[in-house]
Structure 1
């Protein structure tokens, strides 16, 4: 695009009301879905994984944000809806952007809330077929997005610690 035309279009854009600028951006920018997912750790380090009825590989509790919902609230809500546990989020989340399916995931670590028994984890949603705890160094084959989220979270958690993340079994 010619630089003069580009500057003129930017000036016109600046003159638009905020709502109109947002509509323009949403019209020309790619759309992404945004979800939260949660790696729940037991005191011994085991991770809670779920097998969705419509997937072969293992994943973690999570799902799309509802309109106006904060990612942390969505993570807590999805865990409660899918496996029936109340949780406490730990540390900073990782953010994973997957451009091909146009998906953004906010990935959290969590532990079971005080007073809640981790053994109470069970499928509570029609989409969850199986719930199981796995030692982090002996994970089953993970869904593609779960494996990517696990690695991203390990990077956030281990930044500067020189720690190697566990083996992550996954296939596309």
Structure 2
């Protein structure tokens, strides 16, 4: 409701109001309430020493196989992905860098897709992940979304 009212005002007025309103906490409250919200997910194209991609079998998905990931908490994205992989698999990973930022819907979100590599650990089954698989490009398991196959291929072909 507040966002609809605020967005009716001309942009120039909003800038002037923000600039000349002395109460920082109030200004930040209004700005927060007026903006659209979305979730941030962290995903990883994680490889082993042989260059094979780590895939997880998710117990709650219709197409169970996919890359590791999850929702960020109040943390740096790289830390969020490292935490998610460890919580779900017991594996420790090194994040190499951000490869993609993708806007998605249902729910509204931004997916941050990183490249990384396994550095140590052995798989430990979790409530979310029943098994893992190291897979070469093109040798995908049944039950893996086409979008993820394409995403992995694009990211790994970027070098």
TM-score, scaled relative to structure 1: 0.72
Partner Cα distance (1:144, 1:122) in 2: 27
When the two structures are aligned, how many residues end up with a matched partner? Answer: 148
In structure 2, the residue matched to 1:66 is 73
- Kindly indicate whether residue 155 of structure 2 is the aligned counterpart of residue 153 of structure 1: yes
Give ranges in structure 2 of 5+ residues lacking alignment: 1-8
* Offset at residue 99 of structure 1 (A): 4.0
**What is the deviation of 1:33?**
0.5
Alpha-carbon deviation of 1:20?
A: 2.8
Distance 1:41 1:12, change over 3 A: same
CA-based RMSD: 2.6
User: Aligned partners of 1:25 and 1:152: how far apart in 2?
Assistant: 37
CA distance in 1, matches of 2:10, 2:86: 52
- TM-aligned CA distance change 1:8 to 1:110, over 3 Å: closer
Kindly tell me: are residues 131 and 22 of structure 1, through their superposed partners in 2, closer, same or farther at Cα, counting changes over 3 Å?
same
Mapped to 2, the partners of 1:110 and 1:37 lie a distance apart of 10
Distance 1:19 1:147, change over 3 A: farther
Structure 1: 5+ residue stretches without partners: 162-172
Distance 2:149 2:136 in 1: 15
C-alpha offsets along residues 120-152 of structure 1, whole Å, 9 cap, x if unaligned? 2342x2111221111112223434774575366
Q: CA deviation at 1:100?
A: 4.7
Query: How far 1:18 sits from its partner (Å)?
Result: 3.6
What is aligned with 2:18? Answer: 13
Query: Residue 52 and residue 12 in structure 1: after superposition, are their counterparts in 2 closer, same or farther (change >3 A)?
Result: same
Q: Quick check: which one's strand share is greater?
A: 2
SS in 1 for 2:114: strand
State how far apart, in whole Å, the 1-side matches of 2:86 and 2:137 are. 22
Q: Deviations over 1:53-99 (max 9, x none)?
A: 110221222111112x0000011111111111111112333211114
In the TM superposition, structure 1's runs of 4+ consecutive aligned residues that sit over 6 Å from their partners are: none
